[in-house]
Amino acid sequence: MSEAENVDESRRHFLLVATTVVGAAGAVATAIPFLSSWQPSARAQALGGPVEADISKLQVGELMKVEWRGQAIYIVHRSQEMLDKLKDHDGMLRDPNSEESEQPAFAKNAQRALNPEYLVLIGVCTHLGCAPMAKFKVGDTDVAADWPGGFYCPCHGSKFDLSGRVLKDVPAPLNLKVPPYYFSSNTTLVIGLDKGAA
Ligand code: FES
């Protein structure tokens, strides 16, 4: 190899090494912010934890709300009359046996609850996410003459019965969701964990 060829070969080797080092440094520099964006924030972790609800003062026929993961959770203390009413309007419902809805296994039935007296739902309409309103009075003509009692979504008129089951011919496609939960005492609900997981 001539001296000129030796110089060219050394220069080519230097440029190759320099380019590789700069390229690797660039990859490290871009990898760090990318990885750090995957770390969950303390707020996100806090939002995911279970919450307790004291239901000791919740009277029969009343609704209370608590927040879990930034969503409203509806808890209804149902009367025997409300529970009896669940049996007589399956023909009005899109999914009366809650086959398609999102819920823990214990809620796959007409009552959709661990203890039928207490209904626990995520208060978010399954259409576009508005907050359904409590309309518990049977036959409330503000909603419909044959209204079985339940929840009415003011945004586009979706209707759900007293187990959060969606009626036919409304925009919402699914029953309201039931979150995971369990009773830690007769008057305390823990929302965000089911009994098995707890
Ligand atoms: S968001 Fe409830 S009906 Fe559209």
From 126, 135, 143, 153, the mutation candidate for ligand 1 (largest count of ligand atoms within 8 A of CB) is 153
**Atom 3 of ligand 1 has which residue's CA nearest to it?**
156
Residues in contact with ligand 1 (CB, 6 Å cut-off): 125, 127-130, 153, 155-158, 171-172
CB crowding 45-83: b at 16 or more within 10 Å, else e: eeeeebeebebeebeeeebeebebbeeebbbbbbeeebb
Residue in the structure block whose two tokens are 């690797």: 24
Nearest to 77 by CA among 35, 116, 46: 116
Query: Which residue's structure tokens are 């508005």?
Result: 130
Contact 67, 192 (CB under 8 A): no
Note the pLDDT of residue 102. 87
The 10s digit of each residue's pLDDT in 72-107 is 999 999 999 999 999 999 999 999 999 998 899 988
**What's the pLDDT tens digit per position in 12-33?**
444 444 444 444 334 333 343 3
Q: Which candidate, 170, 5, 7, places its Cα nearest to that of 93?
A: 170
Q: What is the mean pLDDT of residues 154-158?
A: 97
pLDDT higher than 60, residue 5: no
User: Residues 63, 68, 70, CA angle at the centre, nearest 5°?
Assistant: 110
Q: Is the pLDDT of residue 40 over 90?
A: no
pLDDT digits over 109-139, tens only? 899 999 999 999 999 999 999 999 999 999 9
E-strand ranges in 43-193 read 51-54, 63-68, 71-77, 118-122, 133-135, 150-152, 159-161, 181-185, 188-191
pLDDT exceeds 80 at position 163: yes
pLDDT, mean of residues 6-16: 47
Whether residue 194 is predicted with pLDDT greater than 90 in this model: the reply is no
